[in-house]
Amino acid sequence: MQAWTVALASTLLFASSAGAATEMATLAVPGMTCGACPITVHMALSRVPGVEKVRVEPADKEVIVRFNDQKTQVGALLRATRDAGYPAHVVTPSMHANGR
């Protein structure tokens, strides 16, 4: 009976997350001009529910964000950077990250 319960729970867990896709978007943040800017942008994006990973590229003034598309969207990422004082725009639209 316990094995059946574990199998059912696993199936339900998989079914509930099956529709979720990991997406990636690259954002240009032209206002990142000082040493503290990337830290502020990283913190702002990391606080957005659904964001899984943030990689800031200060030399390129870009941020690559991996996120769960059922928990957040690119618009929320743009709002987070803008609200932190760093308006951004999308360089690469969101795309399936295929587990990267």
Q: What percent of the chain has pLDDT over 90?
A: 70
The model's confidence at residue 3, banded by pLDDT at 50, 70 and 90, is very low
Whole-structure pTM value: 0.75
Pairwise CA distance, residues 71 & 51, whole Å: 8
Q: Looking at residue 92, what is its pLDDT?
A: 77
Q: Are 71 and 57 in contact (CB under 8 A)?
A: no
Per-residue pLDDT at 23 exceeds 60: yes
SS3 assignment, position 96:
strand
Domains and CATH numbers, the chain: 20-96 (3.30.70.100)
The predicted-structure confidence for 60-91, as pLDDT tens digits, reads as follows 999 999 999 999 999 999 999 999 999 999 99
Q: What is the sign, positive or negative, of the torsion defined by CA atoms of 29, 63, 66, 53? A: negative
Amino acid, single-letter form, for residue 24: M
Pairwise CA distance, residues 82 & 89, whole Å: 10
Pairwise CA distance, residues 29 & 85, whole Å: 10
